[in-house]
Structure 1
Amino acid sequence: MLKGNFFRGLGYLGDGFGLIRQPGLRLFVVIPLVINVLLFGLLFYFLAEGFTVMIATAMAWLPDWAWLQALDWLFWLLYGVFILLLLAYGFVIVANLIGSPFYGYLAELTEKHLTGQEVTTDDSWAAILKDIPRAFWREVQKILYYLPRALVLVVIGLIPVVNLIAAVLWFGFNSWMMALQYVDYPADNHKVSFPALRQLLADTRLSALGFGLPVALAAMVPILNLVVVPAAVCGATVYWVRENRSAIQSPALTR
């Protein structure tokens, strides 16, 4: 039997958007946001330059017919679709890899704001920099968890008739992954292992899916996906405090 409250879970992202406006949290929202905007601006620039060369090459190869030469707008339309897909499915992964040390600290500050209690005693910039390798490895763990399951869903999508349910499975899986992705930040601050985190979320699966659903939808919207990541971190911390408070201190969960 599924436990949790789907509708309560839906509200946590809204809580997160409210929290990122708090003065004490803004710095750790702005820094990774600026880094991500600069990175993706450069990425899209080089993609556009490369795509321009590809279009010119393709148009030179085509016969010199006016209607074929006029198809360059179609290539640019396809480029726009590609960019949208890249934003939808690639942004969250890359943004989390880059911002993981900041997001871990943002989750820590959010929890302190919510509970009034310190999570750790070392809040220096040196501690954040020192935490980068461990935070990066935690992100890699999530990617390794995601890839084989995503591959199974791709295979299901290739099977006639069965592939009719593939879209539903994909959406449910992405919602689950978004919850797992962001609740991991406050969980990691409490040294909860990644397998133990999956079990904790499974214990309140309806709440987890309710939280992950709007995050997955927002991640597909350009511009909005720039701010949804820190909002999701703060919302996930609200989730952690409210849904898993009784399990936080369990020695069996820590790594």
Structure 2
Amino acid sequence: MRDFGTGFRYLLSGQRWILRHPRLYGLGIVPGLITLVLYVAALVAMVVWGADLTDTLTSFADGWPSPWLGLFRALFTVALIALVALVAVLTFTAVTLLIGQPFYDAISERVDRAAAPDGLAPESNLPLWRELWIALRDGIRILIRAVLWALLLFVLGFVPVVGQTVVPVLAAFVTGFFLTQELTAVALARRGVQVREHLALLRSRRPLAWGFGLPLGLAFLIPVVAVFLMPGAIAGATLVARDLTREPIRLAD
């Protein structure tokens, strides 16, 4: 539980730090706004045409008697929209990070300098195109794992009782873990930490990852909130990254 509380403290510290740096905060909001527009359009399309998609995907049930056909398709439509929403939450961060990689890297580097006792920040010393390629490659890997988890949770959602009780809780923890992985990738990439090592670090400190990512994931369920919390989330994730790599931390002021 101590690690969980530490993760939550880093989340709050990141939000406080970014609010004291309005110029960086303003730059950090822009990529989130771009992603938000794209995702809202996709979700609106899902709501508008969700029923038609349900009819197509459940054509095998056309001969079912009433009211079972209507009930099944209504449940399937709700589950489908929930799946899209879950995928959106899991992938929103990765897509936003890819769009705003230079901005978020600048925020992370500033936090590193503020948090380090010697005022120095790790540097990748890689050209920008190489950093973007690594971010894209690693982002795709995370997205694939996130979508696979979302599909598994979608299927489990149809299990009576378990699907309405256990699965939502599990989904919250899975989302929190992935958010922490995506956000800490910015700081850890500058340290040359590869995806497998990154994942191993987080698995060894799951409560820390959940303490940071779980409340953030719940907040990110509201798309507009996600946009405004994203810059501070990057700042807080940099502190998490320093903790994972056992670097000294002087909380940024």
- Establish whether TM, by shorter chain, passes 0.5: yes
Larger CA deviation: 37-46 vs 141-150: 37-46
Question: 1:166: how far off?
Answer: 1.0
1:1-255 to 2 correspondence within 5 Å?
Answer: 5-23=3-21, 26-27=23-24, 29-38=25-34, 40-41=36-37, 85=85, 88=89, 91-115=92-116, 116-120=119-123, 127-128=127-128, 130-163=130-163, 164-245=165-246
RMSD over aligned Cα atoms: 3.5
Q: Find runs of 4+ consecutive structure 1 residues off by over 4 angstroms.
A: 41-53, 84-90
Q: 1:137 to 1:42 in 2, by over 3 A?
A: closer
Question: 1:169: how far off?
Answer: 1.0
Matches of 1:50 and 1:153, distance apart in 2: 19
| Amino acid corresponding to residue 205 of structure 1 in structure 2 | R
Q: 1:152 to 1:31 in 2, by over 3 A?
A: same
Matches of 2:107 and 2:224, distance apart in 1: 21
Whether the 8 Å CA contact 1:92–1:219 is kept in 2: the answer is no
Q: 1:101 to 1:224 in 2, by over 3 A?
A: same
Matches of 1:168 and 1:201, distance apart in 2: 19
> Number of paired residues?
214
CA-to-aligned-CA distance 1:171-205 (integer Å, 9 cap, x gap): 11111111111112211111111111111111111
Q: 1:245 to 1:161 in 2, by over 3 A?
A: same
Q: 1:132 to 1:44 in 2, by over 3 A?
A: same
Q: Give the secondary-structure state (helix, strand or coil) at the position aligned to 1:131.
A: helix
Based on CA coordinates, which of the two structures has the bigger radius of gyration?
1
Matches of 1:49 and 1:209, distance apart in 2: 32
Gaps of 5+ in 2: 50-77, 249-253
Q: 1:50 to 1:194 in 2, by over 3 A?
A: closer
Whether the 8 Å CA contact 1:88–1:221 is kept in 2: the answer is no
Question: 1:93: how far off?
Answer: 3.8
Q: Percent identity?
A: 24
Matches of 1:97 and 1:38, distance apart in 2: 11
Q: 1:41 to 1:155 in 2, by over 3 A?
A: closer
| Amino acid corresponding to residue 26 of structure 1 in structure 2 | R
CA-to-aligned-CA distance 1:9-66 (integer Å, 9 cap, x gap): 111111111221344x833x4334224324544775798799999xxxxxxxxxxxxx
